[in-house]
Every structure is written in structure tokens, then in C-alpha cells.
Amino acid sequence: MSSLAVASAGRRRKTWTWLYFLLPSLAIMLVFFIYPIILTVFYSFTNLALTGEAAKNLKFIGFDNYTHMFEDPTVRTSIWNTLVFLIGSAVVGQQVLGFLIALFMKHKNKWFRRVVGTIVLAGWVTPEIVCALCLYSFFSDEGTLNAMLQSVGIPEVTWLYTVPMITIILANIWHGTAFSMLVFQAALDDVPSEIEEAAVVDGATKWQILTRVTIPYIKETITTNMMLVTLQTLGVFGLIYAMTGGGPGTSTTTLPIFMYNQAFVNYQLGYGTAISLLLLFIGIILSLFYIRSMRD
């Protein structure tokens, strides 16, 4: 009896120690993560503004910001632009291109891998804003691209004005592909060569090996990478803001740009936070979708 009591007391003490050690990080999470999220949710139901009458009188306005959001055609445009940017630059661009580069490099010698790898990585290690300025000067009216085209007699094209969405998609591909490449390189290296060799012996073509052996083998990596790249791309702001500022018109206004404009150009912080929650919501939906497809 007494030994049992000691044991359970000891176990209980252990439980508390565990919590005790976790407290600091819990406190940090609470202060820097949970609290701001709760505050954001709260502010999204208010008329919080940076200046003007509303800055003095914070009022609870219920779902006004949200109903307003669904009536605002610019919100729809921004959601659409965000999805186009996401699919173009993350899902198709970074993911597919990263995979192809990794595949292409798989059986090449070390020296070749290093050179290609370094070139691709250059885009990734460049800070977002520097990357934006580089590509801005590449695509701008008097930029490198037009200079190159003109040297072979092709007239100047106003890229940032005529095809702004394509320029920012290419910029984000340039910036982010290295991440996918590295992930896929690691995954492809893990595919046991015996399986592929067995397929060769069975008379499978290269395409069949790729689609029926290699890709199914790294399926989980593909989904994980898709999720990471998606979440990264959803939050891209500096790149687009510096290159096109969301324009011309609203043609490259994605949700982060729209949110910034509402909060810091129109000074409507309440509305801005509501939009940020919409962005969070889209991120959650997409993540759930990926996690689900991973389970299947």
C-alpha cells in the first residue's frame, strides 16, 4: 500500500515536472502567438482605424467587415489573383520545375550537380526584396530583357504593364524553385536503385519507371512539398509589392497586397485584419486538402 502511494506520488511529481519545463515555451506561445491571433480575430469585428474619427472610438461592428468583404469585387479579384499566382508559381512552377531539375541531375556527376545546384540556389538565397528589384530591372521598360530583345531586332515590350501576372509568377519561380529542388533531390536519392533496376529488367520504359515507380515512391514528399510551397507562396508580399505594387489596376493585387492597402493606405486596420483572416482560412483549407490527399 505504502509503496504504491509512493509510486503514484512519484509519477504525479513527474507529470508536474514535465509541465513545469514546458511553461516558459507555453508562456512565449501565449504572448507572441495565441494572444495576437485572438486579438486579430477581435479586431476583425471592429472599425479599428489608423486615423480619423474611428481611431478615437473603437467600436464593435459585428460582421460588417465580413459582409463588406463578400460584397467588394476587389476581394474576389484578389482571391482569383492569389489562386492564379499560387497555381502558376508554386504548384506548376516551383514544384514541377524543381522536380524536373532534381530528376535531371540525379545520375549526373558531382561537378555538374554542383554547378546547376548553385545556379538554382542563387535565386533562393537572394532576399525577397533584392530578388524583386533584380527582376524589376530585368522586366522594366528599359530593362535587361528589352535590351536583349532589341539587340536582335525585336521591339520593346512593356512586360510589367502588358503581362504583369506572368512577370511576378516567373519572379517567384526564380526565387523559390531551389527549395523544391532540394527536397526532391533528397527524396529521389532515397528511391532504392534495386526497384528501378528490377523495372528495367522487366522491360519498362523510362517513362513507365518515372510514372509507376519513382513518383508513387516519393508521393508523400510531393504532397508535403506542395503544402510547404503553397503556404510560402500565399504569404508572398514584398516580391509583388516591389515589382508591380499590385497593379496596373488590380491585375496583380493578391490578398496580402490588398490587405496591406486596406490597412496602411486606407488606414482601415479592422478591415485589413478581416482580410488577413480570410487568407489564413484559405491556407487552412488548402492544408487540409493536402493532408487528406496524403492519407489516401
In the complex, which residues of this chain contact other proteins (CB under 8 A)? 49-56, 68, 71, 141, 158, 160-162, 245, 247-249, 261, 264-268
Report how far residue 207's alpha carbon sits from residue 129's, in angstroms, rounded to the nearest whole number.
Answer: 39
- Closer residue to other proteins in complex, CB, 42/264: 264
Q: Under a CB-based contact definition with an 8 Å cutoff, are residues 251 and 24 in contact?
A: no
How many CA atoms, within 13 angstroms, populate the side-chain half-sphere of residue 91? 10
Residue 195 C-beta: closest distance to other proteins, Å: 53
Residue 200 C-beta: closest distance to other proteins, Å: 54
Report how far residue 24's alpha carbon sits from residue 32's, in angstroms, rounded to the nearest whole number.
Answer: 12
Q: What is the 3-state secondary structure (H, E, C) of 238-272?
A: HHHHHHCCCCCCCCCCCHHHHHHHHHHHCCCHHHH
- Closer residue to other proteins in complex, CB, 179/258: 258
- Closer residue to other proteins in complex, CB, 43/179: 43
- Closer residue to other proteins in complex, CB, 88/272: 272
103: its cell numbers:
530528376
Q: Under a CB-based contact definition with an 8 Å cutoff, are residues 172 and 93 in contact?
A: yes
142 CB neighbour count, 10 Å cutoff:
9
Q: Which of 263, 282, 284 is nearest to 273 (CA)?
A: 263
- Closer residue to other proteins in complex, CB, 64/196: 64
- Closer residue to other proteins in complex, CB, 203/249: 249
Q: Examine residue 164 and say whether the peptide bond preceding it is cis (omega within 30 degrees of 0).
A: no
Residue 174 C-beta: closest distance to other proteins, Å: 21
Residue 83 C-beta: closest distance to other proteins, Å: 22
Residue 192 C-beta: closest distance to other proteins, Å: 54
Residue 63 C-beta: closest distance to other proteins, Å: 15
